[in-house]
Structure 1
């Protein structure tokens, strides 16, 4: 995941809306984005969700009611949220958040299609084997 690109838009304000479960960002180019926590969680840029290469993604379910319990800055280029389900290893760069907000309609459709293809419901609990990594013996 790339850091800051010269001239790339950066957030001028970030607001956590707990009741509506949305992260609101206003970017330097005027973009005003509202990203649902669920979308952020199912598209977490962490290795736990994205895997370590194409085809290794772990389909997330049961995240509709996930909340943000903590939000930490990572340098001047990203944030690291901790979600109410305990997930906190994703580092969201300003560029990645911009993409999530800008492309969320297409991302939702892709997510719903992946659920359908896997025969899963959006609110199904995560399967225990899907949460364990190959290195769970640590």
Structure 2
């Protein structure tokens, strides 16, 4: 398996649960995570969310109800989800899924702090960005 560090856990099962809106992932080291679609969406590793450098992150809101319409494998190292809001530019590596799964509590806390700092509600609609096309519109 080229490209994977030896011993890095790889998924043995990936199941998207659309009713409960979680991605269930089992890893080769025995770890099992239920990662909410919302968490995946707000922490998407895409430039659209992460920005193009530190401090450029775009705070994602209104994603509580987001669904997963597709989950495509990318090589042997990642999956590319397509979310119901049209976002499809994030590549989730196995390492990143493991990170999201294992750090959920901290990530939710960070998200809550960022919302509070920005003075916005978790369910606020995302502002439309005029003239900022990331190829998704």
* TM-score normalised by the chain length of structure 1: 0.92
In the TM superposition, residue 132 of structure 1 has moved relative to its aligned partner by 5.3
In the TM superposition, residue 133 of structure 1 has moved relative to its aligned partner by 2.9
User: Could you tell me how far apart the structure 2 residues matched to 1:81 and 1:35 are?
Assistant: 13
1:18-33 to structure 2, matched below 5 A, reads: 18-33=18-33
SS in 2 for 1:81: strand
In the TM superposition, residue 135 of structure 1 has moved relative to its aligned partner by 7.5
In the TM superposition, residue 4 of structure 1 has moved relative to its aligned partner by 2.6
1:60-99 to structure 2, matched below 5 A, reads: 60-99=60-99
In the TM superposition, residue 35 of structure 1 has moved relative to its aligned partner by 0.1
Assess if the C-alpha contact under 8 Å between 1:11 and 1:27 holds in 2.
Answer: yes
In the TM superposition, residue 85 of structure 1 has moved relative to its aligned partner by 0.2
Number of equivalent positions: 133
Deviations for 1:2-52, whole angstroms, at most 9, x for unmatched residues? x63221000000001110000000000000110000000000000000011
Change (3 A) 1:126 1:6: same
Structure 2 residue 132 is matched with structure 1 residue 133 = yes
Cα root mean square deviation, aligned: 1.6
Deviations for 1:66-111, whole angstroms, at most 9, x for unmatched residues? 0000000000000000000000000000000000000000000000
Change (3 A) 1:97 1:15: same
Cross-structure match for 1:101:
101
- Runs of 4+ more than 2 Å apart: 131-136
Assess if the C-alpha contact under 8 Å between 2:79 and 2:93 holds in 1.
Answer: yes
Instruction: Give ranges in structure 2 of 5+ residues lacking alignment.
Output: none
User: Could you tell me how far apart the structure 2 residues matched to 1:127 and 1:101 are?
Assistant: 28
Assess if the C-alpha contact under 8 Å between 2:71 and 2:79 holds in 1.
Answer: yes
User: Could you tell me how far apart the structure 1 residues matched to 2:134 and 2:32 are?
Assistant: 40
Instruction: Give ranges in structure 1 of 5+ residues lacking alignment.
Output: none
